[in-house]
Amino acid sequence: MKLGSGRSALVVALVSSVVLAVLLSPLGFERRPSAALTPVGYISIGAVAAGILLGLAAIVLIFRRVRLASILALAGSVAFLVPNVADKAGAFFSLPASQLISALEYVHLVVLLVTLLLTWIVFRESGRGRPSRPDA
């Protein structure tokens, strides 16, 4: 199935966001011990999991249900902002982030902002072409 340029760009941004989230996890480059997690850090881990799941669901649904996919992409991107901001504020771990993690967080922040913009564009485009509801 062919995707429009906005939808293709959104898929690329979502895949990039999910890959960066994995790289920012212990599966990637995160080496701070789990004992250094703060209570906000545990909430942030849930936000990362939600962001990954919502991003993957949006990637799958973009082929059939564009509006729903864009809503899920929006929710996933906002969920990813929680751990990003929490770590920058020093509330995720009691230890500071390494330079690599900090740089990846900035890259992820830019990708999230681009994803939010693309999500808005795709959402608006998906509403066009629908017949308007006649007023009663």
DSSP state of 27: T
Q: Please, are residues 128 and 77 in contact by the beta-carbon 8 Å criterion?
A: no
Q: pTM to 2 decimals?
A: 0.88
Mean pLDDT of the chain: 92
- In one-letter notation, the amino acid at residue 26 is P
Q: Which two tokens stand for residue 95?
A: 């230890």
What are the pLDDT digits (tens) for 51-110?
Answer: 999 999 999 999 999 999 999 999 999 999 999 999 999 999 999 999 999 999 999 999
CA pair distance 109, 70, nearest whole angstrom: 18
CA pair distance 85, 47, nearest whole angstrom: 12
All residues at 6 or more sequence positions from 68 whose CB lies less than 8 Å from its CB, including other chains: 61
